[in-house]
Amino acid sequence: MKEFICIFLCVTLSFCWAQASTPKNLTAEEKQQIIDQFAGEGDSWETIWGKYLQSKKNFRFSPPKGKFIAPAEFEKCEGVCISWTGYNRLLTNIAKEVSITDKVYIVTNSPDYVTSILEQNGCNMENIVFLRQRLNSVWMRDYGPWFIYTDSGKRGIIDLVYNRPRPLDDKFPKSLGDKFGWETFQCPLILPGGNLILDGKKTAIMTDVVFDPKQGGDPNLSEEQLRRYMKDYFSCDQVYIVPDMENDGTGHIDMFCKLLDDRNIIVGEYATPMDGYGNNYYILNDIAKKLSQMTNSDGEKFVVHRIPMPAYQWGTSYTHTNSLIVNNTILVPIYGRGTDEKALNVYRKLMPNHRVVGLDCNEIIGANGAIHCITKLVMAKKASQR
């Protein structure tokens, strides 16, 4: 009997830690739901997808007025926002590291349950803020809020259209703004957050998957419209579009690239052509070369540094760039696949005044995401003085 109880408790605990989340990609049920609602006779999936995305844009949009700025991830923030809907072990480790010095906003409908886990794992509960509501998935990066500083110096939120039929996720930026009194500006752009890098100086970088319906992009979006939306809602004068990697599951730029400050940028690098899926070895080399020829909005060239990419295996693209900068802490995904220490040293060398922490992401990476994909910053009350 004791053995049975022990086994039951171990299995239960294991399930709690490894609780699966709704995947980043469309589920079969979600895809069928879209087909049932929007398919016409003989329509291709691209046509059906375009109709579905268009339906999500049938409401009033309002860009910010006057002068404003969209800060970069490396600027001052209050803390991190996460959704407690799966991958509890990784979320606990993120909360533990961030709560040492900064706030962790945890969206959950079960704060007592989450509290017990965090307390058992040594989190600083003084820096834990619970937002009691339900969400559909853990992928906060893709549907979470983008912050701006308005011309009056106040924080505002840009709310992009989420390209998934997950209404609780899609409404979250607006509900967060309403809770804290931050004005929310709804934007018709369909651009998951993992595919957008901002330098805080009016420059944006993303991959061309933004146009690709096969990976959730908007087939009705033109490059001219994209640039207008980035100007109107993010105050970006420059928009750089680079190719996406092949078969990495998302096509998002955070799977192979990260801006560490307003000039230094890291780009993944495979040791050999055989280490990357398909042409990814060459694609990343080409992207690194192109980025080194680009400038920020001050006219300064980006300085490109390479960081190792663990070899592609079992249908999974491993990444060390899917990391998170939280003030003076950097959380980096590690896997025990021979590249961890070299990757961590890249961060240590380029950001010597930061605490660099590696977190095991083997449990989540098979779902095509890591630390960056499940977090979103809550920016500081005032813009950084740089």
* Collapsed DSSP state (helix, strand, coil) of residue 109: coil
What pLDDT, on the 0 to 100 scale, is given for residue 20? 56
Secondary structure of 115-140 in HEC code, one letter for each residue: HHHHHHCCCCHHHEEEEECCCCCCCH
Domains, the chain: 70-379 (3.75.10.10)
Confidence of residue 385 (pLDDT cuts 50, 70, 90): low
What pLDDT, on the 0 to 100 scale, is given for residue 297? 86
- Condensed to tens digits (0 to 9), the pLDDT of residues 55-85 reads 998 777 889 999 999 999 999 999 999 999 9
Q: Average pLDDT of 48-56?
A: 94
- Condensed to tens digits (0 to 9), the pLDDT of residues 210-261 reads 999 999 999 999 999 999 999 999 999 999 999 999 999 999 999 999 999 9
Residue of 156, 158, 176, 180 lying closest to 168 (CA atoms): 176
pLDDT at residue 15 is higher than 70: no
- Condensed to tens digits (0 to 9), the pLDDT of residues 279-330 reads 999 999 999 999 999 998 889 999 999 999 999 999 999 999 999 999 999 9
Beta bridge partner(s), residue 386: none
Q: How far apart, in whole angstroms, are the C-alpha atoms of residue 152 and residue 301?
A: 31
What pLDDT, on the 0 to 100 scale, is given for residue 36? 97
Q: Average pLDDT of 142-148?
A: 98
pLDDT at residue 7 is higher than 80: no
* Collapsed DSSP state (helix, strand, coil) of residue 383: coil
- Condensed to tens digits (0 to 9), the pLDDT of residues 80-124 reads 999 999 999 999 999 999 999 999 999 999 999 999 999 999 999
pLDDT at residue 13 is higher than 70: no
Structure tokens belonging to residue 195: 């595919």
Check: CB of residue 156 under 8 Å from CB of residue 149. Answer: yes
Check: CB of residue 210 under 8 Å from CB of residue 217. Answer: yes
- Condensed to tens digits (0 to 9), the pLDDT of residues 174-205 reads 999 999 999 999 999 999 999 999 999 999 99
- Measuring CA to CA, how many Å separate 309 from each of 50, 118, 197, 275, 362? 34, 31, 19, 8, 14
The model's pTM is 0.94
